[in-house]
């Protein structure tokens, strides 16, 4: 499995728009990518950037968070964009098929943008979409997220070592 993103940017506002040319659907992770984790709060520049991008490209937002159903309406209002709900979670192949089927697009025409290798990047790569990794906004505000990042980085080091061994 490939956990390495095709592109890496500091945050969504730094994404080079040329990598989106010709794409027919952008799938955004919500927590730590567009909004602070488990909240409906974001940075003004991210929301403004998102509105500009959403005018040019069809977008859908998704989160594996258990609290997304409570936050869905507020996030949709802020972004003027659908929050996709499913019984599946990233990096599920079924979830990708469900979304691409609904939006009638092929994997090669999809970009997945998120902040985690093991969910967002893997979700894109295993489904043959373009993967974009962004650094989490707001730093790590929760101990559980900080631990998850440390664990993710440790596992990536091990996987890279084993791959190059």
Q: Which domains does the chain have, with CATH numbers?
A: 7-139 (3.40.50.1000)
Instruction: Kindly give the interhelix angle for 44-56 and 68-79, rounded to the nearest 10 degrees.
Output: 70
For the segment 126-153, the average pLDDT, to the nearest whole number, is: 75
Return the minimum-mean-pLDDT range out of 2-11, 47-56, 108-117: 2-11
For the segment 128-151, the average pLDDT, to the nearest whole number, is: 74
pTM: 0.86
- Higher pLDDT: 71 or 146? It is 71
Residues with Cβ within 8 Å of residue 25, at least 6 apart in sequence: 57, 58, 59, 60, 99, 100, 103, 105, 109, 110, 111
For the segment 121-145, the average pLDDT, to the nearest whole number, is: 84
pLDDT of 2:
80
For the segment 47-65, the average pLDDT, to the nearest whole number, is: 97
The C-alpha atoms of residue 9 and residue 132 are separated, in whole angstroms, by: 8
The C-alpha atoms of residue 146 and residue 142 are separated, in whole angstroms, by: 6
pLDDT of 125:
96
Answer yes or no: are the C-beta atoms of 137 and 30 closer than 8 Å.
Answer: no
Residue 123 pLDDT greater than 70, yes or no: yes
For the segment 127-135, the average pLDDT, to the nearest whole number, is: 96
Residue 86 pLDDT greater than 90, yes or no: yes
Residue bearing tokens 């010709």: 22
């Amino acid at each position: 499995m490939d956990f390495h993103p095709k592109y890496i940017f500091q945050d969504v506002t730094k994404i080079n728009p040329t990598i989106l040319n010709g794409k027919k659907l952008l799938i955004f992770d919500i927590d730590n990518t567009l909004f602070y984790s488990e909240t409906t709060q974001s940075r003004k520049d991210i929301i403004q950037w998102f509105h500009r991008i959403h005018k040019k490209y069809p977008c859908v937002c998704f989160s594996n968070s258990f609290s997304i159903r409570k936050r869905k309406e507020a996030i949709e209002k802020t972004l003027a964009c659908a929050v996709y709900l499913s019984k599946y979670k990233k990096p599920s192949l079924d979830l990708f098929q469900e979304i691409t089927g609904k939006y009638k697009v092929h994997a090669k025409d999809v970009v997945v943008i998120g902040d985690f290798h093991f969910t967002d990047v893997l979700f894109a790569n295993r489904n043959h979409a373009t993967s974009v990794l962004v650094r989490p906004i707001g730093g790590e505000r929760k101990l559980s997220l900080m631990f998850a990042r440390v664990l993710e980085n440790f596992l990536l080091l091990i996987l890279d070592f084993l791959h190059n061994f």
